[in-house]
Amino acid sequence: MTFREILQSLVDQTPGALAAAVMAGDGVAIDEYERPGAEVDLGAIAIEFGRVFHQSQKVAGALDASRAGALEEMLLVTGSSQLYFRQLDDDSFLVIALEPAGIVGKARYLARAFAQEIREAL
């Protein structure tokens, strides 16, 4: 599967998902998919969040020195959306944008299920 096909599967199979993207560590989109009609600018979000993600990796390292800072996932919840982030490797991560009532558990499950396939496509 291509990145786009994987991302489309993630969005289509997750109730309330709006968009998904594979991002480089600097926040630049490698590829992204947006559900038709959704108005989400994951590129802008990821660039801004990239710095927070890197700082969170440092915090994770301080909390769990035995795993050398292996941050796996983060969830940002606001009044109007949810953003789920999953680390893919040292230089890339997956982001899934969901509506406030979106099923984050399903997004987490599918992100884990597709993670290896995404890594292989990198």
Tell me, letter by letter, the H, E, C secondary structure of 68-121: CCCCCEEEEECCCCEEEEEEEECCEEEEEEECCCCCHHHHHHHHHHHHHHHHHH
Helix (H) or strand (E) holding 8: helix 3-13
The range of the structural domain enclosing residue 20 comes to: 3-121
Q: How many domains does the chain have?
A: 1
CATH of residue 45 = 3.30.450.30
Q: Which residue has the higher pLDDT, 20 or 70?
A: 20
Token pair listed for 107: 């997004």
Residue 70 has a pLDDT of 72
DSSP bridge pairs for 31 = 22
> Edge to edge, what strands does the sheet with 82-89 contain?
29-34, 17-24, 92-98, 82-89, 73-77
In this prediction the pTM is: 0.88
Per-residue model confidence as pLDDT tens digits over 55-83? 777 777 777 766 555 778 889 898 899 99
